[in-house]
């Protein structure tokens, strides 16, 4: 038996934030990304609350890759304030932070259970509809996904007005996070027809609109489509799970603060190649892993078909490499900058252990061995876009 749940009510499209005009709250706790406060972006939310006389308090001590010590401070604030509504306004980091704050506050005091509204200001993580919150342990230098139904938002508001200010690099990083979510969900061992449908549509939307969104921040049609794609990919992987790509990317984020989507994008062609086992030329075509057919299905939905399955997967990988090149993204760790070869190679052993244990790795279509992960991390140091190792 399989199950497919959609708990979050999603408001989307032009003026989706007007949903806030119906809010009847006596005390809202807004946890916001500091950028949204400094830039005035938060006014899109607070003006609507002001219009209906909803009192609120803004808390903006949120950092990318939120660490547990900050979550503990947030829990105390929430318990002191006792809001009747909690809102997260920001990227995946702010939403994940708020989810963890709400869950731990509830565990500390079971009477603390305000409704939770997630308002993303980046199009990438899909965190507004997932039961995941990724928290960083800066001492152990690992990122660990908390997974619980308690973390799911009651309401998500997708208003593309809030993503217009996202700069090019972050549009590229977060956009590649969406594509990675959708591809990993599609080939995951936990997939279903429902998650496949959402993932396939999310990939199509990204391939059609991501470069447009990257090239013109004010292209509202493209921004709107990518914002919806992010949420659809979130719904897909929330049910289907992710894979080794995320398991390995989490470690690059925790150790070297490589933005999450950028780490995913660098790994993506390597993981597709590894899962498909297409560098192993001695495998007869009829013995190729089952996920090869799934990758071919995604490729075909984008119009990418070559003379056999292996060459179709290769063409699909090339398409991803071209997409990242068009958005000026690095394709190996050396090109990220600020990381020495010595420190990177010294971290590989521990990163491989952590990637094996990462909760997202469990649903990867190929069961990885530690030496496989080490080899991928090693190759990633100076991988060239036309490098055939992966």
Ligand X SMILES: NC(=O)c1ccc[n+]([C@@H]2O[C@H](COP(=O)([O-])OP(=O)(O)OC[C@H]3O[C@@H](n4cnc5c(N)ncnc54)[C@H](O)[C@@H]3O)[C@@H](O)[C@H]2O)c1
Beta-bridge partners for 250: none
3-class SS at 224?
helix
Q: Return the range that interacts with Fe ion (CB under 5 A); candidates 172-180, 301-309, 325-333, 350-358.
A: 172-180
**Of residues 74, 83, 114, 124, which one binds ligand X by CB under 6 A?**
124
In angstroms, the CA 308 to CA 135 distance is 42
Check residue 120 and report its DSSP letter. E
CB of 240 to Fe ion, least distance (A): 13
Of 275, 244, 312, nearest in space to 390 by CA = 275
Cβ-contact 358, 247 below 8 angstroms: yes
Secondary structure percentages of the chain, helix, strand, coil, to 5: 55, 10, 30
Q: Could you say which of 255, 260, 314, 321 contacts ligand X (CB under 6 A)?
A: 260
Contacts of 194 (CB under 8 A, 6+ apart): 4, 239
Output the smallest distance, CB 386 to ligand X, in A: 28
Kindly state the smallest distance separating residue 272's Cβ from ligand X, in Å: 19
We find the least distance from the C-beta atom of residue 129 to ligand X, in angstroms, to be 8
93 lines the binding site for ligand X (CB under 6 A): yes
Residue 91 found at the interface with ligand X (CB under 6 A): yes
In the list 127, 245, 324, 363, the residue contacting ligand X (rule: CB under 6 A) is 127
Q: Which residue has the tokens 């939770």?
A: 116
Taking CB under 6 A as the binding criterion, the range among 253-261, 321-329, 333-341, 355-363 that sits at the site for ligand X is 253-261
CA distance 339 to 381: 10
Beta-bridged to residue 142, according to DSSP, are 137
Both tokens of 372, joined, read 């496989």
Phi-psi region of 277 (alpha: psi -120 to 50; beta: other; left: phi over 0): left
- The interface partner of residue 320, options being ligand X, Fe ion, none and the CB cut-off 5 to 8 Å by kind, is none
Residue 298's closest CA among 316, 286, 280, 281? 316
Please give the Cα distance from 23 to 302 (Å, whole number). Answer: 41
Residue 247 binds to ligand X (criterion: CB under 6 A): no
Among 175, 241, 261, 365, binds ligand X (CB under 6 A): 261
Q: Which is nearer to ligand X, 90 or 365 (CB)?
A: 90
Question: Which of 46, 122, 251, 324 is the binder for ligand X (CB under 6 A)?
Answer: 122
Indicate which single residue of 96, 128, 173, 177 sits in contact with Fe ion (rule: CB under 5 A): 177
Give 46 or 93: the residue with its C-beta nearer to Fe ion. 93
Residue 188 binds which of Fe ion, ligand X, none (CB < 5-8 A, kind-dependent): none
**In the complex, which residues of this chain contact ligand X (CB under 6 A)?**
33, 35, 41, 64-65, 90-94, 96, 121-122, 124-127, 130, 132-134, 143, 162-163, 165-166, 170, 174, 177, 253, 260-261
**In the complex, which residues of this chain contact Fe ion (CB under 5 A)?**
177
């Amino acid at each position: 038996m399989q199950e497919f749940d959609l708990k979050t009510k999603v408001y989307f499209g032009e003026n989706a934030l007007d949903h806030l005009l119906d809010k009847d709250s006596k005390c809202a706790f807004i946890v916001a990304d500091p950028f949204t406060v400094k830039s005035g972006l938060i006014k899109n939310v607070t003006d609507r609350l002001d219009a209906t006389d909803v009192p609120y308090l803004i808390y903006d001590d949120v950092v990318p890759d939120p660490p547990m010590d900050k979550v503990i401070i947030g829990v105390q604030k929430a318990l002191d304030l006792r809001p009747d509504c909690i809102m997260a306004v920001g990227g995946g980091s702010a939403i994940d932070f708020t989810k963890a704050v709400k869950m731990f506050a509830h565990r500390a005091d079971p009477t603390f259970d305000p409704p939770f509204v997630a308002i993303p200001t980046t199009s990438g993580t899909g965190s507004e509809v997932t039961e995941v919150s990724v928290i960083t342990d800066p001492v152990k230098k690992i990122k660990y996904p908390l997974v619980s139904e308690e973390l799911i938002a009651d309401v998500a508001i997708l208003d593309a007005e809030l993503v217009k200010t996202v700069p090019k690099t972050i549009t590229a990083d977060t956009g590649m996070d969406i594509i990675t979510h959708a591809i990993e969900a599609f080939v995951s061992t936990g997939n279903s027809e429902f998650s496949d449908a959402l993932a396939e549509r999310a990939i199509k939307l990204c391939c059609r609109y991501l470069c447009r969104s990257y090239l013109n921040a004010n292209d509202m049609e493209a921004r709107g489509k990518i914002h919806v794609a992010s949420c659809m990919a979130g719904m897909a992987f929330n049910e289907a799970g992710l894979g080794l790509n995320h398991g390995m990317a989490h470690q690059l984020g925790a150790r070297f603060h490589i933005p999450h989507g950028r780490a995913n994008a660098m790994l993506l062609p390597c993981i597709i190649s590894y899962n498909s086992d297409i560098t192993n030329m001695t495998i007869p075509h009829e013995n190729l892993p089952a996920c090869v057919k799934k990758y071919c299905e995604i490729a075909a939905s984008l119009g990418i078909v070559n003379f056999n399955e292996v060459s179709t997967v290769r063409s699909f990988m090339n398409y991803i490499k071209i997409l990242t090149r068009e958005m000026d993204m690095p394709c190996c760790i050396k090109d990220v900058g600020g990381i020495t070869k010595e420190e990177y190679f010294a971290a590989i052993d521990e990163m491989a252990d952590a990637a094996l244990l990462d909760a997202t790795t469990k649903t990867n279509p190929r069961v990885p061995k530690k030496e496989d992960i080490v080899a991928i991390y090693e190759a990633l140091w100076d991988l060239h876009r036309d490098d055939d190792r992966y």
